[in-house]
Amino acid sequence: MKLRRLFITFTLCFFGLSGVLYGAEVAKIGIIDFQRVIDTSNPGKRSAVEIKSQGKKMEETLKEKEAEVQGLKNSLEQKALVMSQEARDEKERQLRIKANDFQSLRKRYLDTLKELNLKLSNKIKKDVFGIVEEIGKEGGYLLILERRVGGVVYAPHAIDMTDKVIEAYNALDAKRLKEEAAKSGSKNKP
């Protein structure tokens, strides 16, 4: 009888205590939307502006080069009948060179824009992942997933921590800008 009572007491204590222990361990999971961070954070907005301004400059240059090629082509078409064969061949050669130069420049500009975009997004990604790791450690999260890359189809808004990440990233960015301004201000002083 005593042995049975001891066994029941032990079993109740074990299961009761383990339930409390396991019940205390709640798996916290968070979700962030990296694209929304890029679109709405201050550094992300500045990156987009920088890429657009570079793209516009390149586009203007390409339009000028394209106009040159088109002008040379029109000139050749208009004067082809009255030109000598040698002069026509020379104009066609110049047109081919200009057209190839234009295509090369376009490809180089596209590569430059892709490289700039990758460089800026990698910098943002590094900063954001550092912030997410910090929030995860402080908040006791078991897992934090990126909404699109992680294959998350649905997640309740309650576990979406994107706004918190954006807020922390904007604060970090403001701090960096303030430090840079202080450094450049002290360099300008004699």
Nearest alpha carbon to residue 144 among 154, 157, 129: 129
Q: What is the pTM of this model?
A: 0.68
- CA-to-CA distance for 187 and 180, rounded, in angstroms? 11
Cβ partners under 8 Å of residue 119, min gap 6: none
Where are the chain's structural domains? 24-188
pLDDT of residue 188: 58
pLDDT of residue 165: 93
- CA-to-CA distance for 93 and 72, rounded, in angstroms? 11
pLDDT above 90: percentage of residues in the chain = 49
pLDDT in tens, 69-98: 999 889 888 887 888 889 888 888 998 999
Half-sphere exposure of 3 (CA within 13 A, CB side): 0
